[in-house]
Structure 1
Amino acid sequence: MQKLPTLSEIKPLRKKLDISQKELADEMKLTQSTISRIESGTVDPPYSKVKNIFEYLEGERIARKKSKKHAKDIMTRKIISIKPTSSIRDAVELMNEHGYSQLPLLEKNDNFGSITSKKIQKIITDNPTMLGVEVSLIKELPFPEVDENWNVKDISDLLVKYSAVLVKDETHNIVGIITDADFLKLSKSF
């Protein structure tokens, strides 16, 4: 007979899968506070809810284990980036030249931020003289960094929130970038 997991196993399993309480709550159509109370043991949830939570978490664990593709398999190795001291005009030229809508701000393997065509469009529409300003003055959050062995499922989840993900090797050097376009190339192999 299979042993039923205990409620105290939910939180460690969720954290191991790097799923937030909010993400789990959204998947289960519950509130984040309900998930928090279930994990802390301050509420006695119905069996059906607990069963659904464990089935979802187990499904995620299996899906991630089955994922044979990793960041290093789908990343673009040639990273087109811009230095934080470069001008917005330089960023526009680089984006136009390579057909990119976002660029990381990199210098000596340090990730200083990012710049997107949408942000540039808003800035120069409001004030065209801003083209000469350094990109560091209008930079956005840095793209997240992942290990080259991260599986594509986890990276796909990040790309829902960010326009790109930077990939680091075991020596912590940035060795690649992944965007939605890389996932479109991946779909050809299925």
Structure 2
Amino acid sequence: MQLPTPSELKGKRTDLGLTQNDLARRAGVSQPLIARIESGDVDPRLSTLKKIIDVFEDVEKEDIQVGNIMNTNVISAAPEDHIDVAVQIMEKHSISQIPVLSKGVPVGSISEEMIIRSLADKKKSAVSHMLIREMMGDSFPTVSPNADIKMVSHMLERNPAVLVLEIGQVVGVVTKYDIVKLLSE
């Protein structure tokens, strides 16, 4: 493991928009110590370096709001659509579930799993002609565009997607894939 150099620490701090005073306060150390570490005058204790790096990680997470990573092209179906329409949408976009929206407002969700369960009980032709509202499940949870990514990450542990609402209308969607993509950026 390679420890960051003083110039790397300073660069990271400035990239995150932190002043030396901000970093010192959040890390529980003095501002003069931060200045000395960044200038290379003093080698920090490992515990102090860890505190600084923890602050950097916290600030990086704080800066990510759902509105910055959401997909604005929300692929959805309407409750009046037939199941075969939902299947075509999922197939076309290579996705396994979609929100059900009525005039931009979330009213439910439909997934491959729900459709497969119905096929076990009914004939294919009967299922494909069913209306989505007859089969749909609960809506995905919703958040505002300024919601913190940590909160949404916890919601995605139990849900396949989170819808983003603004003035009661769906303006975006966040999936587990969107969160994982953050690691490669």
Deviation at 1:149, TM superposition (A): 0.5
Q: How does 1:16-35 map to 2 (within 5 A)?
A: none
Which one of the candidate residues 108, 111, 119 is aligned to 1:113?
A: 108
User: Which runs of 4 or more aligned residues in structure 1 lie more than 6 Å from their structure 2 counterparts after TM superposition?
Assistant: none
If you compute each CA radius of gyration, which structure gives the higher value, 1 or 2?
Answer: 2
Listed as ranges, the gaps of 5+ residues in structure 1 are: 1-58
Deviation (angstroms), 1:140: 0.5
Counterpart-to-counterpart distance in 2, 1:125 and 1:90? 19
- Find the residue that maps to 1:161 and give its secondary structure: coil
TM-score by length of 1: 0.63
Q: Which runs of 5+ in 2 are unaligned?
A: 1-53
CA contact (8 A) 2:61 2:150 kept: no
* Cα separation, 1, equivalents of 2:118 and 2:105: 25
Q: Does structure 1 residue 124 correspond to structure 2 residue 128?
A: no
Distance in 2 between residues matched to 1:168 and 1:110, nearest whole Å: 9
1:134 alignment partner, one of 131, 134, 146: 131
Structure 1 residues 71 and 100 mapped into 2: Cα distance closer, same or farther (>3 Å)? same
Distance 1:64 1:125 in 2: 49
The equivalent position to 1:183 in structure 2, one of 154, 179, 184, is: 179
> Taking every aligned residue pair, what percent have the same amino acid on both sides?
30
Counterpart contact for 1:86–1:135, Cα < 8 Å? yes
For residues 103 and 84 of structure 2, what CA distance do their matches in structure 1 show?
A: 22
Q: CA deviation at 1:116?
A: 0.9
- Rounded to whole Å, the distance in 1 between the matches of 2:146 and 2:64 is 9
Please state if 1:99 is matched with 2:75. Answer: no
